[in-house]
Amino acid sequence: QSALTQPPSASGSPGQSVTISCTGTSSDVGDYNSVSWYQQHPTKAPKLMIYDVSKRPSGVPDRFSGSKSGNTASLTVSGLQAEDEADYYCSSYGGSNNLVFGGGTKLTVL
Amino acid sequence: EVQLVESGGGLVQPGGSLRLSCAASGFTFSSYWMHWVRQAPGKGLVWVSRINFDGRSSTYADSVKGRVTISRDNAKNTLYLQMNSLRAEDTAVYYCARDLGYYDTQDAFDIWGQGTMVTVSS
């Protein structure tokens, strides 16, 4: 099972919006609505930000939103804040009881 | 407080074995699927294995299949990962994580431990 494809980096100024893509195939992202997004600050454990493509767990700001079109899922962070600077990972159920992550995107708040 | 605490990591020689533990507290452990996820130094997250709520069903990533066994003791609120025939490429921080789903898997992880480092080197 190959990793999902994410851009290595993304950036935006405070208050702006940034979108991170996550491209898979018709066997994972394209076939299932089990796409999740995680935020990871340096030396910390990941934190769930989005699940089931677009649902937010309790406590996650509504500045974070998710969507999917075909084989590509996206995470949009609106109203960028300094504390949003982190690594972001997508994941998807990949069929055959496998789960696959993306390679990660480093988000920089300029 | 809902919490997962891993232990058991360390330095092991290639070909060796190690058993990781993950102690759960603050929630009904026996109602949730559980997972192990690893992260090599400076690299991304990689899913390793999952086990269902009663321990009767488990699945593995191809990269560890046949060398790793996930198990759980619901009476002790503890998840385990037995790792055998370890290779240099198994070097990583190993996280245990709770599945968001209740009695069913949603393959989303809402609670994570702090991780335990496994280093495979001679």
Contact B108 A98 (CB under 8 A): no
pLDDT tens for residues A17-70?
A: 999 999 999 899 999 999 999 999 999 999 999 999 999 999 999 999 999 999
> Residue B83: its pLDDT value, please?
98
Give the separation between CA A80 and CA A18, rounded to whole angstroms. Answer: 8
Give the separation between CA A49 and CA A55, rounded to whole angstroms. Answer: 8
> Residue B88: its pLDDT value, please?
97
Residues of B with CB under 8 A from a CB of A: 35, 37, 44-47, 50, 59, 61-62, 95, 100, 106-110, 112-115
DSSP string, A59-98: T--TTEEEEEETTEEEEEE-S--GGG-EEEEEEEE-STT-
The residue of chain A nearest to residue B44, with distances taken between CA atoms, is A103
* Test the A interface: residue of B45, B49, B106 with most A CBs within 10 Å: B45
> Residue B45: its pLDDT value, please?
97
Interface of A with B in 18-47 (CB under 8 A): 34, 36, 38, 40, 45-47
pLDDT above 80: residue A9: yes
Q: Which of A1, A40, A51 sits opposite B62 (nearest CB)?
A: A1
pLDDT averages per 10-residue partition of chain B, 122 residues: 97 98 98 97 96 95 96 98 98 97 88 98 96
Is B30 in a helix, a strand, or coil?
helix
pLDDT tens for residues A59-103?
A: 999 999 999 999 999 999 999 999 999 999 999 998 888 899 999
> Which residues from chain B sit within 8 angstroms of residue A100, using beta carbons?
47
Q: Which of B44, B47, B59 sits opposite A104 (nearest CB)?
A: B44
pLDDT band for position A2 (cuts 50, 70, 90): confident
> Residue B104: its pLDDT value, please?
83
- Mean pLDDT on A6-14: 97
Contact A97 B59 (CB under 8 A): yes
pLDDT above 70: residue A1: no
Is B31 in a helix, a strand, or coil?
helix
- For residue A110, give how far its alpha carbon lies from the nearest alpha carbon of chain B (Å): 22
Q: Which of A45, A102, A103 sits opposite B112 (nearest CB)?
A: A45
> Residue B103: its pLDDT value, please?
81
